[in-house]
């Protein structure tokens, strides 16, 4: 089944792409079958690189067979249409096979990060009512502790043995609106909420995928991300759209290492990559040189990036870097495509064709060149069906036909959007509303700073003042003189009320499993 085909057009402009854009979504559609069973059997679907650097290809014929045999095994284990099946394992061929098999059966996959501890797993497994978990050996003890008695199917040899059972006879005839996966938010306010997505979500992802990745797919494309496939940013910005288009996905059995990442991309001929902001920051701090790679385009997203980091990445990795924006509930709806429209440094781009994104005030009025909440027009195929068992939270997420992101931003007269902060990250100081992003970008411009985060801390006179938490590059000493130098660096570039009143040096910053900085953890520990 074909998706949008921006890549075959000539004379593309933002206006020509957006005017009259309409989705063509079939009434009946199964995402697992579309990815596994719709491509030439001899085409390479996956290249798996083990810890020793050995690469093993898997064809689409093998992918189709493995997913059907696992779906049959799950059915024999009692998994039925609509049941939730957890997947708790680092990125691998087995993880991808698990998701596609679950979907072909008509069940709902529950991606869970390997970094989760027993408490985090217990909440998500219990809240979702998971019937079974597909788990890597290193995660079995945690899952067993989290939910004793939950049936577990281990990846590796046990999964291979299970897949030898009777293959699934017929793929579930699912409606495009039926649930396909349940993925939990990071819980920035209150407990995590499960965002339930439908099979049709892929159609909302395809426009951004093509544009972020320089009109992918093209012959010979190989795509890779170091991010955990449990994150929607890896699963739905990389793996599933690539398989929908019949592309080759690279997966590597190794922790992220900046120089190792470059070697991997060079050795395996990677042409497209999704490198989250944390990965780019680590690569810059390590001084990597990717000039020998085959990279054609890099996508990044997950948190706001500054102009300097994007410029560094393009210079040292040798290709354009297209920034994008979305969230678990409505993914990749904003971004850049440097081949089609000019990038404005510091902006996260424009609404991707097929999506309508604006900035509104608290009364729902559109704002131009003023800070307000970023909102997305509903309905949209990329949007969740609902929060799992949370009707009140679902209703509160929408206002007058718009999804409320909870993020603050600004829209200029040409439709470019500029991220400010999460609504709960705003610092209120003597009547000023200060977003941490601008201060963080300024600090990142100092040669001593590898990573940083800014939060508001209580102040008797001002209400709140900015405080900075800084991870240093090698060769710099964390002392009072350096703290004063960083404060002066910000003072010389921003306003006086934006200067951090405190600078604390840390070995590392608290981050979510997807690599986003956890400012709430800094607030709680302060």
Q: Give, for 484, the enclosing helix (H) or strand (E).
A: helix 480-491
Name residues whose C-beta falls within 8 Å of residue 381's C-beta, 6 or more positions apart in sequence: 23, 25, 198, 200, 201, 202, 203, 204
Q: List the chain domain ranges.
A: 60-198, 200-380+390-425, 429-525
Secondary-structure class of domain 200-380+390-425 per CATH: alpha beta
Least confident of 103-117, 257-271, 304-318, 403-417: 304-318
Confidence of residue 519 (pLDDT cuts 50, 70, 90): confident
Percent of the chain topping pLDDT 90: 67
Percent of the chain topping pLDDT 70: 92
Please provide the CATH number assigned to the domain covering 60-198. 3.40.50.980
pLDDT digits (tens, 9 = 90+) for 46-84: 999 998 899 999 999 999 999 999 999 999 999 999 999
Is the pLDDT at 92 greater than 90? The verdict is yes
pLDDT at 10: 56
Largest CA distance in the chain: 71
pLDDT digits (tens, 9 = 90+) for 206-225: 999 999 999 999 999 999 99
- Name which of 175, 170, 156, 173 is nearest 68 in CA terms: 170
3-state helix, strand, coil in the chain (%, to 5): 30, 25, 40
Least confident of 46-50, 120-124, 142-146, 412-416: 120-124
pLDDT digits (tens, 9 = 90+) for 16-28: 888 888 899 999 9
Name residues whose C-beta falls within 8 Å of residue 158's C-beta, 6 or more positions apart in sequence: none
**Omega before residue 217 within 30° of 0, cis:** yes
CA distance linking residue 347 with residue 420, whole number of Å = 10
**Omega before residue 362 within 30° of 0, cis:** no
pLDDT at 458: 83
Domains 60-198 and 200-380+390-425 share a fold: yes
The sign one gets for the Cα dihedral 274, 278, 283, 287 is positive
Nearest 5°: the CA angle 111, 90, 245 is: 70
Confidence of residue 386 (pLDDT cuts 50, 70, 90): very high
pLDDT at 308: 81
- Quick one: average pLDDT of 492-516? 82
The fold of the 429-525 domain, in CATH, is: GMP Synthetase; Chain A, domain 3 (3.30.300)
pLDDT at 2: 45
**Alpha-carbon separation of residue 484 from 456, 481, 487, 503 (angstroms):** 18, 5, 5, 8
CA distance linking residue 410 with residue 305, whole number of Å = 15
DSSP state of 473: P
**Alpha-carbon separation of residue 67 from 63, 109, 396, 505 (angstroms):** 6, 13, 38, 48
Cβ atoms 501, 465 nearer than 8 A: yes
Assigned token pair, 366: 């559109």
Is the pLDDT at 1 greater than 60? The verdict is no
- Name which of 204, 193, 174, 192 is nearest 383 in CA terms: 204
CB atoms closer than 10 angstroms to residue 230:
25
Is the pLDDT at 279 greater than 90? The verdict is no
Cβ atoms 222, 238 nearer than 8 A: no
CA distance linking residue 101 with residue 168, whole number of Å = 9
Name residues whose C-beta falls within 8 Å of residue 424's C-beta, 6 or more positions apart in sequence: 188, 189, 406, 520
DSSP state of 7: G
CA distance linking residue 488 with residue 498, whole number of Å = 11
């Amino acid at each position: 089944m074909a998706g949008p085909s921006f890549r075959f057009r000539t004379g593309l402009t933002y206006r020509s792409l957006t005017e009259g854009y309409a989705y063509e979504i079939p009434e009946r559609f199964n995402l697992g079958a579309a990815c596994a069973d719709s491509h030439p059997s001899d085409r390479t679907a996956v290249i798996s690189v083990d810890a020793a650097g050995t690469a093993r290809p898997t064809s689409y014929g093998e992918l189709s067979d493995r997913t059907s045999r696992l779906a049959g095994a799950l059915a024999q284990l009692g998994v039925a249409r609509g049941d939730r099946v957890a997947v708790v394992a680092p990125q691998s061929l087995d993880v991808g096979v698990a998701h596609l098999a679950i979907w072909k059966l008509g069940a709902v996959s529950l991606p869970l990060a390997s970094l989760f501890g027993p408490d985090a797993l217990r909440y998500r497994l219990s809240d979702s009512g998971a019937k079974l978990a597909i788990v890597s050996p290193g995660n079995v003890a945690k899952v067993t502790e989290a939910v004793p008695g939950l049936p577990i199917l281990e990846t590796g040899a046990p999964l291979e043995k299970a897949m030898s059972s009777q293959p699934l006879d017929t793929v579930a005839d699912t409606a495009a609106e039926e649930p396909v996966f349940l993925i939990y938010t990071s819980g920035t306010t209150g407990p995590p909420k499960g965002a339930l997505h439908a099979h049709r979500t892929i159609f909302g992802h395809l426009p951004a995928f093509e544009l972020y990745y320089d009109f992918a797919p093209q012959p010979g494309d190989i795509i890779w991300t170091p991010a955990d496939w449990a994150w929607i940013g890896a699963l739905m910005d990389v793996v599933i759209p690539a398989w929908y288009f019949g592309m080759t996905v690279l997966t590597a059995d190794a922790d992220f290492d900046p120089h190792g990442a470059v070697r991997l991309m060079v050795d395996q001929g990677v042409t497209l990559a999704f490198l989250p902001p944390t990965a780019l920051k680590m690569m810059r701090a390590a001084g990597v040189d990717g000039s020998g790679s085959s990279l054609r385009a890099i996508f990044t997203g997950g948190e706001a990036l500054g102009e300097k980091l994007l410029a560094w990445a393009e210079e040292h990795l040798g290709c354009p870097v297209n920034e994008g924006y979305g969230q678990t509930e409505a993914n990749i709806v904003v971004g850049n495509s440097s081949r089609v429209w000019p990038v404005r440094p510091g902006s996260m781009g424009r609404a991707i064709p097929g999506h309508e994104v604006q900035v509104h005030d608290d009364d729902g009025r559109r704002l131009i060149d003023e800070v307000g909440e970023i909102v997305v027009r509903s309905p949209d195929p990329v949007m969740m069906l609902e929060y799992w068992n949370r009707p009140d939270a679902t209703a509160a997420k929408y206002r007058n036909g718009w999804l409320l992101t909870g993020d603050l931003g600004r829209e200029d007269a040409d439709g470019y959007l500029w991220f400010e902060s999460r609504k709960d990250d705003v610092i209120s100081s003597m009547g000023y509303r200060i977003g941490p992003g601008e201060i963080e970008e300024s600090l990142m411009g100092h040669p001593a700073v590898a990573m940083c985060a800014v939060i508001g801390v209580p102040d008797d006179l001002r209400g709140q003042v900015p405080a900075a938490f800084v991870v240093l590059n090698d060769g710099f000493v964390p002392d009072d003189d350096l703290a004063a130098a960083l404060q002066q660096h910000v003072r010389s570039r921003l306003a006086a009320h934006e200067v951090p009143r405190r600078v604390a040096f840390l070995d590392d910053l608290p981050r979510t499993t997807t690599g986003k900085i956890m400012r709430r953890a800094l607030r709680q520990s302060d």
